[in-house]
Structures are given as C-alpha cells and as structure tokens.
Amino acid sequence: MNKEQFVKHYAVQRKNTVSLKWDLLGQRFGDPDLIPMWVADMDFRTPECITDALHRRVAHGAYGYAYVPDSYYEACFNWMESRYGFRPKKEMLRLTNGIVAAMYYFVNAYTQPGDSIIINTPVYYPFAGAIKDCGRKVVSCDMDYHHGHFTIDYDRFEKDIVDHDVKMYFLCSPHNPCGRVWTEEELDHVLSICQRHGVIVFSDEIHQDFVYGDHKQICAAAVSGGKYADNLVIAFASSKTFNIAALVHANIIIPGEKLRAMYDAYAAQNVQADWNIMGITATEAGYVNGTAYLETLKDVINSNYEYIKKELAEKAPEIIVCDMEGTYLPMIDLRNIIDVEHPQKEPVCLNGKAPVNYDVYEFVQVKCRLAVDYGEWFGEKYSGFFRLNLATTPETVKTVTGNIIKAYHEIMDERAGENA
C-alpha cells in the first residue's frame, strides 16, 4: 500500500465521536470551528490486525479477570529487540494504565516530597505537572537552540543537578516537542552525568516508533552496551504507534533489581489494579502484525513535514519549521515575525494551561484558524513557538500551510505599510 492508498483507506472523520481533539475545541480553545492540530493522536484508523483482534475478543462475550499471556511478552520483546537493540527479560516488565500515570507512580516510588526532578525544556508539559502534583520541585534545564535545532547543554545540565541536589531525571526520547532523536553519544553524556550524581532516570520513549531518515532510535537501556541500565526505567507503549491512546495501556521496563524492588514495594500499597485486556490484546496484535501499517504511516507523516517545511521556506521564509527527526509534532518558531517581548494586549488563557502571548494567539488562532499547543505550555521561555500535529491527512496539512502563508503575508504587508 502506497501513501495515497493509505490515506484513502485509513483517514477517518472524527467529529462527534467523543474525540478530545475534535469535539472539545469550543471548550478548550473557545472556538469549535478551528482546525485541530494539537493533542497527539492521529486522524487515521488503527490497523486491521488490531481491530480484528479486538473484534474477536469482544465477540467472545466474556470479560472476566485475565492475565498477561506469554505471547504478549514475546511480541513486546521482539519489537524492542529488532528495532531498538534491547531485549528485556520477563521479570523486568510492569504494566500501567498509561505513561503519564506511570510518571506519578515512579516519582512517588523513587523520591520524597520536596526533592528536585530535572527536565530538559521545552518538554511535554505533563512532565512538570507530575512533578508539581507530587509535591516535588521542577528544575527546568533549557536546551540550546539554533535555527530550528535543539541540543542539550551538558555543563548546564550537570550544574543544575548539583546546585539543586536533583534526585530524578525525566528523559524524553525521542523528544516531544523538539523533534530530536538523541544520538548514542548524546544519551551516553546525559546518562553518565546522572549515574555520576546518583540521579535515577525515567526515560519516556513513547514516540520511539516515529523516527525518520538516517536517524536511529536507541533505547536508553542499550546505550554503551547497557552500561546505565540499572539506573533507569524505560516507558513505552503502542498508543501513539497505532492510535489507541484511549485504551490507556503502557509498558514499563525496570532492568535493575534494586529499582524493581523499590517500585514493587511502592506498588504493593499504591498501585493495586488489574490491566485492561483490550489494551493487552491490541498491543500484542500491533507488535506482531502492524509493521507494514507503521512504515507507510511514517511515510505519510514525513511527507506532510517535508511539504510544510518546503512551502514555508519558499513562501514564508522568516517562519522556522524546527527539525523533526522523530515524533510527528514539530515546533514552529514565529519569533522572527512576532515581537514576543512587546505584545499588543494581555496574554490569553487557553486549554487550562499557561497564558499565551496575545500576538502569537492572534496569528495562530485568529488568523490561521488553528488549535495548537503553544510554546509557553512546554516551558516558560518558549513564547513565540507552537507545536503542530502532522499525523493527519495531506489535504489538512495543505490547508494549514496555506493559512499560515496567508497570515504571514498579511503581517508583512502591514509592516510594509507602516514603513512606507
């Protein structure tokens, strides 16, 4: 199946389907008619291998207590080993009802109230939310940025760890929303710093399956031959890969015996839950038979990215489309056309998140008609950026791109008139 056939076959209308992304635009953004390019799920149906497996389970008609079959472990571990160079052992795996929920569990299992936890900003905002909600201190280590490319400042990272007596690090790999797929050298550097200072690493690798071109995703537990595995926890899921986030199911790998014992002691008192058999069924089916679907899906997404990047470079050259080595959520940098230091009006509150620069809001939502995730939500210093969800149809991306170009030229014409 080629890209065009994939889109024709899998693209789906999601309005009026209890979709957070599509049906809560009015509630979250104050305008139900925006183009939804925000929350990270896709406008494509899950592959038939998953739908068929779920149909068989539902048709059976009995939904009693279940266990995790050996075939599930085999499917997950084969997927990890063949793609990311690490094969877990059965005793390392723990299941949770989503990776965000797992963050809360592991913060409480491995740290104490008042402890400091470090993140590389801009980063997925539930990271900071989990830290704050659990009564810990957020240490935001801003990344270096140059014309669409983000990197970690290792000296700043280590200094922040020492200065704040950091106990835990939330690693985002691939990075959301910066689009980075970390090299083994980069991972080795940050993991060695954490090991040197006794900082436990929680590595969120939920976007591991979305990597493009020559970039290679490396599981943190496989870095330098597994040198750091005993000091970290790996979180991954099929929810992004196959668009099954609502099944709220995730895998947690804890390679080290000490960290496993610490988590199990915490879980015995605080995580007493059975697992969703639908999530187990769907994940196993996807990992066994979903490869062809995933590879063509990635081609569609990468083509969407190349299209918007090329069009904006030619027709709105002062707008920067940041690198998308991985994920499907590139950042867009508007700071060359919007003076974020001197907004026309007071910030706007949207989606229950940090206030958004008014001029950025006006450009993105009022002029471009987009619902997006704004830079301020990912870190205090990222006003002027927004994140765009490209896991949608090429037709939608063309409309979005056209709207951005039109709004860009309106701003340029206004400036020309002012300077005439």
Q: pTM value?
A: 0.96
Question: Is there a single domain that holds both residue 151 and residue 277?
Answer: yes
Which residue, 268, 289, 310, sits at the end of a domain?
289
On whether the CB atoms of residues 12 and 392 are closer than 8 A, the answer is: no
Same domain membership, residue 280 and residue 312: no
Listed residue (204, 408, 226, 208) closest to 325, CA to CA:
208
Q: What is the CATH number of the domain that holds 349?
A: 3.90.1150.10
Q: What is the dihedral of CA 406, 412, 413, 414, to 10 degrees?
A: 110
Which is nearest to 104 in space by CA: 352, 302, 271, 326?
271
- What does the H/E/C string look like for 313-325? HHHCCCCEECCCC
Please indicate, yes or no, whether residues 337 and 371 belong to a single structural domain of this protein.
yes
Same domain, 111 and 211: yes
Alpha-carbon distances of 358 from 206, 298, 349, 350, 384, rounded to whole Å = 32, 34, 9, 11, 10
Q: Do 40 and 144 belong together in one domain? A: no
Gap between the Cα atoms of 410 and 402, Å rounded:
12
54 and 40 both lie in a single domain: no
Residues 254, 306, single domain; the answer is: no
Domain co-membership, 20 together with 100: no
Do 72 and 21 have their domain in common? no
Residue 151, phi then psi, degrees to nearest 5: -140, 160
Q: With beta carbons less than 8 A apart as the criterion, state whether 252 and 202 touch.
A: no
Same domain, 235 and 281: yes
Same domain, 25 and 156: no
- Domain total in the chain: 2
Same domain, 260 and 352: no
Domain boundary among 241, 267, 289: 289
CB-based burial label for 175 (10 Å; 0-12, 13-18, 19+):
buried
* Contact criterion met (CB below 8 Å) for 139 and 118: yes
Q: From CA 383, how far away is CA 387, in angstroms rounded? A: 11
**CATH number, position 157:** 3.40.640.10
Which of 261, 289, 317 is where one domain is finished? 289
Per-residue pLDDT tens listing for the chain (420 residues) = 999 999 999 999 999 999 999 999 999 999 999 999 999 999 999 999 999 999 999 999 999 999 999 999 999 999 999 999 899 999 999 999 999 999 999 999 999 999 999 999 999 999 999 999 999 999 999 999 999 999 999 999 999 999 999 999 999 999 999 999 999 999 999 999 999 999 999 999 999 999 999 999 999 999 999 999 999 999 999 999 999 999 999 999 999 999 999 999 999 999 987 788 999 999 999 999 999 999 999 999 999 999 999 999 999 999 999 999 999 999 999 999 999 999 989 999 998 898 999 999 999 999 999 999 999 999 999 999 999 999 999 999 999 999 999 999 999 998 887 776
Looking at the DSSP bridge assignments, the partners of residue 236 are: 251
Per the structure, the complete domain to which residue 219 belongs is given by 49-289
Query: Encoding tokens for residue 370?
Result: 């987009």
